[in-house]
A and B are shown apart, each in its own frame.
Chain A
Amino acid sequence: MKLSWEIALRFLKSSRAQTILIITIGVSVQIFIGSLIDGLQVSLVDKTIGNSSQITIVSADNKNYFENDDELLNKLYKDEELTAVSKNLDSSAFLTLDDETYPILVRGMEFEDANKIYNFDEKLTEGSIPSSNKEVMLGKDLVEDLGLNIGDKLELTTPAGSLEEVKLTGVYDLKVKAINESWVISTLTTSEEIFDKKGEISSIETQVKDVFKADETATRLEEGLSSDLVTVNWKEQNEELLSGLTAQSASSYLIQVFVLLAVLLGITSVLAISVVQKSRQIGILKAMGIKNKDASLIFLFQGLVLGIIGSILGACLGIGLNLVFSNFVTNPDGTSLVPFFLNYTFVGISILIAIIASTLSALIPAVKSSKLDPIEVIKNG
């Protein structure tokens, strides 16, 4: 056994590097593509739902409002799976300017909580976040369309018909035009006063740790809610995105399977050649009395060593490629097109599969070697 191991290493040392290269390139391609697509999906999901509510609790029936229940909120705050919990009081209204009216959505929030979802500190392009009563911030697009300035007084008409005057203190940019044109964001208290809804809220927005389990989490949350409340999660609202992601994953797996096949074929053929090249040595060893099992082990060990070295080199190369890609392939603003993303489990599994595959593909040469008859070598030189 130890001798087979040693002979395997000697044979490898005297052989060319091409086999290792096959595995290295195969594994690096696999890890590069796999990680790239993973990174792409993570960033896509993050762009889509990173700054929005992932599970929202709303009123079940057509009533838009429900009680601002401290007990429920405290329970949600304590929930391990939820990374952000923010209550809102929203209502549609009209903004009137120079005799023109614009439909808008007034959203009252508590910014300490809301920032965990929307991160207004960073999204603010001008002015400041509303702090005292009757202050609001508007989206970049609406401000530009209407030619407004910080400090302007705005007139809102509520659904109840009353006129309210608010002051523009900040401009945000959430990178979604529809939002930038319609959300008028203020404090919860302002919203309560304008719409005369003291002690009521319209929704509780949350974010979760594992976004792909949002549906499960939502179901669990809903079980703990009173019957007049329901949840809405991002997955049911983004089915197209999800099916796109699934299709992308499937094609990525397909690519990986083909890469693996190529690696397998490569190793098998190279080791098969090496049996032919080393058949003289195998014949000599057999004439000297090496047993068939040990003769086979020589090639299995070669496959194992090639697999280990090749796949580790390949993993390093693949990760390196990913780093290069994420650092040098960038958007015009300098952020990377596909952020660097490494799934250690994926890398580990790729390495393991490559090692197993290369050992298995050494089986054929191993069997050939055990069948080799020493007399052929001795007679034919």
Chain B
Amino acid sequence: MDDILKLKGIDKIYGDKVKTQVLFNVDLNFEKSSFNSIIGASGSGKSTLMNIMGTLDKPTNGDVIIGGTNTISLNRDEMAELRNETIGFIFQFHYLLPEFSVLENVLMPYRIKHGRVDKETMERAKYLIDMVELTKVKNNLSTDISGGQQQRAAIARALINNPDIILADEPTGNLDSETTDTVYKLLREINDEFKSTFIVITHDKKVAEKGDRIIEITDGKISTDIRKYVR
């Protein structure tokens, strides 16, 4: 099967004087439409790896190849465009814009690319908002909804441009276990419906086991990589 995202020999070293190497020669390929979990102890380098995958951070060495494009050859604006079109982010914190309503936040990645919103996209936004069960509060300011609702709004926002890859860094870190279950069920449903590739960081083994593949990182290296049988 095609690999949508490839990491080749990724090193990450922080600091100029005191150097801390956080990632050591990481090679990873992700199949299209797969649902991947990344686990590991706190400080093992999960977030660092994810930020590099999402082109938010640059590796010290190595290549990040997204959909066939080596990101090393891109300038900042081209990188921004690639991010906008192919990657949806869901962070531990929702990072919604407080000045805008839920609906406006969901539409934001689309507007960054196209400027204005056509009817079709508006329908899609409403459909996504409906899917994450926020229809009732869609016109609320993003600060005027609960934490779980904010996280779900961020999920809808990550999906609006129909990205090939969705990167989620502990998307349920701030939520209670019941809400956590709903959110993961939702992510799985979206994976089934839109065939987007999911890479989800979690420290919860039980949650991780719901993925097709579990990658464990220990001290900046891949220590286990388990694929479940293909669905």
- Chain B hits for A286, CB < 8 A: 80
In whole angstroms, how far apart are the Cα atoms of A374 and B95 in the complex? 12
What's the least CB distance linking A378 to chain B, in Å?
Answer: 6
- Chain B hits for A284, CB < 8 A: 95-97
Task: Report whether B112 and A288 are in contact in the complex, using a CB–CB cutoff of 8 Å.
Answer: yes
- Chain A hits for B111, CB < 8 A: 3
Task: Report whether B99 and A11 are in contact in the complex, using a CB–CB cutoff of 8 Å.
Answer: yes
Q: B residues 70-87 with Cβ under 8 Å of A?
A: 76-77, 80-85
What's the least CB distance linking B163 to chain A, in Å?
Answer: 10
Task: Report whether A285 and B56 are in contact in the complex, using a CB–CB cutoff of 8 Å.
Answer: no
Task: Report whether A378 and B91 are in contact in the complex, using a CB–CB cutoff of 8 Å.
Answer: yes
Binary contact readout B120-139 vs A (1 if CB under 8 angstroms, 0 otherwise): 00000000000000000000
Does B24 count as interface, using CB distance less than 8 angstroms?
Answer: no
Q: A residues 205-248 with Cβ under 8 Å of B?
A: none
- The count of chain B contact residues (Cβ–Cβ below 8 Å) is 30
Find the B residue at minimum CB distance from A283: B95
Q: A residues 1-49 with Cβ under 8 Å of B?
A: 1-3, 7, 10-11, 13-14
Summed over the interface, the residue pairs from A and B with CB atoms below 8 Å come to a total of 68
What's the least CB distance linking B135 to chain A, in Å?
Answer: 23
Find the A residue at minimum CB distance from B81: A289
What's the least CB distance linking B65 to chain A, in Å?
Answer: 18
Does A292 count as interface, using CB distance less than 8 angstroms?
Answer: yes
- Residue from A1, A13, A280, A291 within 8 A of B81 (CB atoms): A291
Find the A residue at minimum CB distance from B47: A379
Task: Report whether B85 and A14 are in contact in the complex, using a CB–CB cutoff of 8 Å.
Answer: no
Does A375 count as interface, using CB distance less than 8 angstroms?
Answer: yes
What's the least CB distance linking B53 to chain A, in Å?
Answer: 13
Task: Report whether B113 and A289 are in contact in the complex, using a CB–CB cutoff of 8 Å.
Answer: yes
Does A276 count as interface, using CB distance less than 8 angstroms?
Answer: no
- Residue from B51, B76, B85, B96 within 8 A of A292 (CB atoms): B76
Binary contact readout B79-116 vs A (1 if CB under 8 angstroms, 0 otherwise): 01111110001010101111110000000110111011
Task: Report whether A288 and B99 are in contact in the complex, using a CB–CB cutoff of 8 Å.
Answer: no
Interface of A (DSSP majority class) = helix
- The count of chain A contact residues (Cβ–Cβ below 8 Å) is 27
Find the B residue at minimum CB distance from A381: B93
Does B189 count as interface, using CB distance less than 8 angstroms?
Answer: no
In whole angstroms, how far apart are the Cα atoms of A285 and B96 in the complex? 9
Does B57 count as interface, using CB distance less than 8 angstroms?
Answer: yes
Extra contacts besides A294-B112, A375-B57 (9): CB < 8 Å: A3-B112, A10-B99, A281-B97, A284-B97, A287-B56, A287-B83, A291-B77, A291-B80, A381-B93
Which A residues form the contact surface with B (CB < 8 A)?
A: 1-3, 7, 10-11, 13-14, 280-281, 284-294, 374-375, 377-379, 381
Of the A-B pairs whose beta carbons lie under 8 Å apart in the complex, a sample of 29, sorted by A's number, is A7-B99, A10-B99, A13-B99, A280-B95, A281-B97, A281-B98, A281-B99, A284-B95, A284-B97, A285-B108, A286-B80, A288-B83, A288-B89, A288-B109, A289-B82, A289-B83, A289-B84, A289-B109, A289-B112, A289-B113, A291-B77, A292-B76, A292-B80, A374-B56, A377-B95, A378-B56, A378-B91, A378-B95, A379-B51
